[in-house]
Structure 1
Amino acid sequence: MNRSPNAMATLTEPEENASEDMYVDYEEKCEDRDEDGFETGDDSSEGEEDDFSGGEDSFEDDEDDSAGSDNDSQQDSDSDGNESTYDSENDFEDDYEDKNSPSSSTQSVFRSSWTSDFHRSSAQQFHPSKKRSDVVPTSPLQTFRRVFCDRVLNLILEQTNIYGKQKYQKAGSMKDLIDITKVQLEQFLGINIIMGYCRNPSIDSYWSTNASLRNEKISTSMSCKNFKRILGNLHLVDNSQATKRKECDKLYKVADFLNLLLQNFQTHFDLGEKLTIDEMMIKFKGRCAFKQYIKDKPVKRGYKVWALADASTGYIYNFEIYTGKSAERQMPLGEHVVWSLTRGLSRKFHHVYFDNFFTSPSLVERLLHDGIYSTGTLRKTRKGVPVEITRDFKMNRGDVRFLAKGPISVVRWMDRKSIYMLSSFGDPTKTTKITRKVKNGQVIHLDCPVLIQDYNYGKKIKQKLDSNIFLFPQCCIIKRFCHLSPRPFT
């Protein structure tokens, strides 16, 4: 049988299996989720008053246990497969109450108190990175090769062959050992990507004689036997040299690979002014010491990834895989995540958006001191929030109140419930008109702070990222490369 020399060359366009019905399915799974971002158009529901909808985190900050992205109890599986539970949100709040934490002991950047007068000088102009001089890729294949460059492929190739030798030597069957080539590795990667959007019940079915299951692009590129052989040997680290790393790094099996990918992510893209930071879930149901469980997510179990993305394109520029509590962390979890992801962006005056899991006055001040503007929804119970803005006083729908301290402002806006925002960039005195439908179907016009609409724009790309991860789970090939799962396919 004639085989295609490289399955990667066939991946210029997705097949029609990823239909619009899949997007509808994703939206249905998200119906019960809340989100910090909201649509400014009609949002009526029969029989009850309207509220924000369509995403992950809620604006309902009137309750102490507001629905943040990590408000729910999460479970970790240890190396023996045992389940242990902890509440990451409570952990986050406890960190903020720690009087010895750096955030608590650090003096405020702005020594003035919160007032109702807002006077802000003109914002610093955004300083974009120097434009890349290399040629812009003209096809999906060229884009893929920018990320999976020769250094990445050589790492996979070398470590996979080393692991194959170790395995066959231990089994005493060295005569069956066959090193894989770079062409075979590229074919293997191409097949994995196709399998990501062409879902079959099993691996063997892609090579089936049944025409309704058989995939010609896959079956003509590589035999099923060779595919399984590479899959069984796939490795990213030399186990014989990884003993010391294993003791101090839970990601030791993928650390070198992820570092190379991250370098390529940042080398071939120039960030825009507006950025967004949030969490993403990579579906995984196997045994892993840092597998997370979040019951209100479409992907409930898997790896949690903190990501910094360009707000206009959704391009992930920086990321970290969450591996659980760390004794070395010297600041609150949310603040630590934002600080870590924005290192290297100081004094460029980006505008970063994040939700109420991350937002705190100390974080916004810290970022502003580093030359980074920020905006985020805010929990009224967060340490440092002025009590004058959170008091229980009468507000009508559309009313706006704010307090300012230097260029930082905290805003309370009444929609169906009170919504709190904290920003070092927006002007709390500026409002715009939005429409809402009430119970009787009547359309009303409300004043809405411009900075809330601006925040909604900055966070809107998050839904697109979550949708892509949900629709094409096997394209997140981290989980099949790292051998965190003994069975990448089920």
Structure 2
Amino acid sequence: MAEFETEDFSDGSDFEEFLGFEDVDEAEYFDDEYEPIDRELWLRHMFVNDDEEEEDDLGEFEGFQANWKTDNYHRNLRSAFNRTPGVKLDLPEDATPLQAFEKIFKEELWTHLVTETNRYRDQVEQTPTRAKTARWSPVTVPEMKTFIGICMGMGLLVLPVRRDYWRQSKNLFRTQFARNMSRDRFAAIWRYLHLQDNQAAVNRDDKMWKMRWFLDYLLAQFQALYEVDGNVSVDESMIKFKGRLSFRQYLPMKPTKWGIKVWVMAESATGYVTNFQVYAGREGSGEKGLAHRVVMDLARPYYGSHLSIYMDNFYTGVGLLEEMRTHGLYACGTVRANRKGLPKSELLRKKASLNKHEYRVAQMDDLTFCIWQDTKTVMVLSNHHDPTETGTVNRRKDGANRVPVVVPACLADYQKYMKGVDLLDQMVGYYGFQHRSKKWWRRVFFFLLSVSCHNAYIAARG
């Protein structure tokens, strides 16, 4: 929940300077031909300062709150998540992760992998500049399953290079892989493994065209297999890749600093991935910002469900949370001090000089804002928490054991539910298939294979 050190920025509004009316031709607006009107009342309706409260009854705007308030809070009512959590497909009560995995990697997918792998080998062999590969036979579905199973096994038992898994002369490297597939056969399938016909008429402007079918298919299976419990987190995961790639990212704060970024929405309690996007660079005009687009895209399947989404300060903003509320989505997250629309009171700014574990709360319409002094100043924004509710977080006191500290409910829930993607990264990192490849899409493929295994485990566990 640590915040980046940032400076306060103006929202760019010069509206107050326009209220002098030196250049306004009053005769143009107060002509004798028209019925006399109250000049002061007319000016108040035409030009309303953002820092002034309009007390008049404005009809359709009755009840609209234009400014943040720090007392006389109104109750912020919320609805419960309206979908049924848990497994959505028919699975036995004592189902194994393999049975759940078969609901994701169906025969349709295995057939697709086999077809494209064999097709790619034929296309390569027709190229005059390439030497032909001896003793090749088309891959079958059982062989492809064996190949993928060996790749999973390589994630469990990590050896320096792939050929070590077939060594029989040294007991240290002796495995049973050779009984299932020869080293040369594995190398041949590895070479021609493919997901998309290179000669097909596809949208080449889509940087993910080499695996677009696979991404769409896998996402559909994730959402069809399991329903989250109503609390999810949105964050980015990194797939390690240091080769040449136009959309390779550098995130210095991540354990994996160089690679391919994946936007992930995962269940907070289990890390089950319910939606994801591989980031391939800027899309469209980006009028509302990258973070705004990413969150709304990931949350689109849950419009109207009252899903609660937790995110860090890269995503959170007043405009985003207001739009999410209109789509029946709840959101909460830490927020940067220079975001537009936050309270302007000095008592609610980042440099408010609060005592240790002291907090202050403000409210505007459905938005609740809190500032809390921990080791650093923490600012949280929510569109569904009641400003009067509180919770507890555990903090060390004088270097001793952890003790509960009272904080606003939005901050307590943020700490509780902002862990789904981190949990996913932890679980996938234990057994990830990390063998090198110059083809970027293979790294994405094996990352999503690991995610599929994790999702299958969560679904089988119930």
Task: Determine which of 203, 210, 234 is the counterpart of 1:245.
Answer: 203
In structure 2, the CA distance between the partners of 1:480 and 1:294, relative to structure 1 (3 Å rule), is: same
Mapping of 1:357-368 within 5 angstroms?
A: 357-368=314-325
Equivalent in the alignment of 1:214: 174
Match of 1:114 in 2: 68
Q: 1:339 to 1:433 in 2, by over 3 A?
A: closer
Alpha-carbon distance in structure 2 between the residues aligned to 1:155 and 1:348: 34
- Structure 2 counterparts to residues 249-328 of structure 1, below 5 A: 249-328=206-285
Q: TM-score, normalised by structure 2?
A: 0.77
Q: 1:299-448 residue pairs with structure 2 within 5 A?
A: 299-388=256-345, 389-390=348-349, 392-434=351-393, 436-437=395-396, 446-448=405-407
* Greater relative contact order (CA < 8 Å, ≥ 6 in sequence): 1
Q: Report the CA distance between 1:462 and its aligned residue.
A: 3.2
Given the alignment of the two structures, is residue 141 of structure 1 paired with residue 101 of structure 2, yes or no?
no
Q: Which runs of 4+ in 1 moved over 6 A?
A: 442-445, 475-481
Q: Does 1:63 align with 2:40?
A: no
Distance 1:174 1:433, change over 3 A: closer
Q: Report SS of the residue matched to 1:220.
A: helix
CA separation in 2, counterparts of 1:182 and 1:155? 9
Identity of aligned residues (%): 29
Conservation of the 8 A alpha-carbon contact between 1:235 and 1:482: no
Give the length in aligned residue pairs. 390
- Which whole-Å CA distance do the structure 1 matches of 2:379 and 2:373 have between them? 9
Q: Are the structure 2 counterparts of residues 391 and 300 from structure 1 closer, same or farther at C-alpha, using a change threshold of 3 Å?
A: closer
- Contiguous gaps of at least 5 residues in structure 2: 14-60, 448-462
* 1:123/1:444 CA distance change after superposition, 3 Å: closer
Report the CA distance between 1:459 and its aligned residue. Answer: 1.1
Cα 1:121–1:455 change in 2 (3 A) is: closer
CA apart distance, 1:175:
7.1
Q: Residue 282 of structure 1 contacts residue 473 of structure 1 at CA under 8 Å; is this kept in 2?
A: no
Question: TM-score, normalized by length of structure 1?
Answer: 0.73
Output the amino acid matched with 1:132. K
Helix, strand or coil at the partner of 1:318: strand
Distance verdict in 2 for CA 1:326–1:481, change over 3 Å = closer
Give 1:134's aligned amino acid. Answer: D
State the match for 1:450 in structure 2: 409
Q: Alpha carbons of 1:260 and 1:133: their partners in 2 closer, same or farther (altered >3 Å)?
A: closer
CA displacement, residues 125-177 of structure 1 (integer Å, 9 cap, x when unaligned): 22014873522471122122111111211111111110011112224748744
Q: Which residue of 2 aligns with 1:9?
A: none
SS of the aligned residue for 1:343 comes to helix
Change in 2 beyond 3 A, CA 1:481/1:434: closer
Aligned residue identity for 1:304: K
CA contact (8 A) 1:110 1:405 kept: no
Match of 1:44 in 2: none
Which residue is 2:79 aligned to? 124
Does structure 2 retain, via aligned residues, the 8 Å contact 1:407–1:425?
Answer: yes
Q: Is the 8 A contact 2:307 2:329 kept in 1?
A: yes
**8 A Cα contact 1:97 1:383, kept in partner:** no
Return the letter of the residue paired with 1:190: G
Checking the alignment, whether the CA contact within 8 Å between 2:243 and 2:438 is kept in structure 1 is no
Equivalent residue, structure 2, for 1:194 = 153
Q: Give the RMSD, CA atoms, in angstroms.
A: 3.2
Going from structure 1 to structure 2, the CA distance change for 1:483 and 1:397 (only over 3 Å counts) comes to: closer
SS of the residue corresponding to residue 240 of structure 1 reads coil
